[in-house]
Structure 1
């Protein structure tokens, strides 16, 4: 007798992506993501070599519209390099969701999927020499929650000379059909 279980069937026509949603998007008027619900967001891609590879299907790049697409996922890339190929590979970074269009043109295609997970994102902030509060790299903590809060907080007020933990938004795990 072996200790293995049967394989879990997986629909190969689905991509699971992480979508970062800033706290201000939800506090303003975006619907708080909830596990088990469907969600539609305009996505922006932000390249970052320290992040994992985003797309696991062949990617198409449309230079004219600034659109990256793979399966059912569409993302706007404002700061794409000029020499980017029409079929880029190995893209590392984050996908950001917006309903306000801050980083995405108004007529850009949205991405729709089922929410598999919601994670509250908290980061540690430190005041810099100029008095601006900046997140400290490597201090982000994700906590699994069933639904995003409508309002975000932190562990207290920002006090000069002390680090402060702040809730900065959520990461939504989204299953998108191809």
Structure 2
């Protein structure tokens, strides 16, 4: 439990999952998530062994639809390994929320839950050898807010040879009924 905002009461039959939402999703047309409100997102999963375990209930894998299901949450996994069992365990990575579909096929199940927390995500960017600006691993800072902004700041002028901080989106702690 964090000490930044008042806790939002939830039933014991829910799972709290972290959902990453890119700034451009909210700036375009997604409603800004707010603590205490319901939010609905289509979820995509990206595996990453450096991240915590994503699901806290038994997970089912449907290789035809490429859908992970755990309790009331469903996530599309485009790059799942071919030898993944029907009941995978210990899945580590990130869940990404979208209203635009990005890497998720049309008609994929959405996930709805109560927003327990909203954390503004700020990352340090550096220009690489081909001139593209990339986030530096380990530089993300989360700041607790009661509601996501509609427009994100921190995108100062990118100057070659200098690092730049940028607000890249939010992490939403979402309580999903099992």
TM-score, length-normalised on structure 2? 0.93
| Match in the other structure for 1:147 | 147
Q: Name the CA shift for 1:117/1:87 in 2 (closer, same or farther; >3 Å).
A: same
| Match in the other structure for 2:75 | 75
Q: 1: distance between equivalents of 2:43 and 2:10? A: 25
Q: 2: distance between equivalents of 1:173 and 1:51? A: 15
Q: Which stretches in structure 1 are left out of the alignment for 5+ residues?
A: 1-8
- 1:116 counterpart = 2:116: yes
Q: Name the CA shift for 1:109/1:155 in 2 (closer, same or farther; >3 Å).
A: closer
Which whole-Å deviations, capped at 9, do the CAs of 1:139-173 have from their partners, x for residues lacking one?
00000001111111216211110000000000000
| Match in the other structure for 1:128 | 128
Q: Aligned-pair distance for 1:105?
A: 1.1
Q: 2: distance between equivalents of 1:155 and 1:101? A: 25
Q: CA RMSD in A?
A: 1.1
| Match in the other structure for 1:175 | 175
Q: Aligned-pair distance for 1:77?
A: 0.3
Q: Aligned-pair distance for 1:12?
A: 2.9
Runs of 4+ in structure 1 off by over 4 angstroms are none
Which whole-Å deviations, capped at 9, do the CAs of 1:91-139 have from their partners, x for residues lacking one?
0000000000011111100000000100000000000010000000000
Aligned residues: 170
Q: 2: distance between equivalents of 1:132 and 1:108? A: 32
TM-score, length-normalised on structure 1? 0.93
Where do residues 18-33 of structure 1 align in structure 2 (5 Å cutoff)? 18-33=18-33
Which whole-Å deviations, capped at 9, do the CAs of 1:10-58 have from their partners, x for residues lacking one?
7331000000000000011000001111001000000000000001110
Larger radius of gyration between Structure 1 and Structure 2: 1
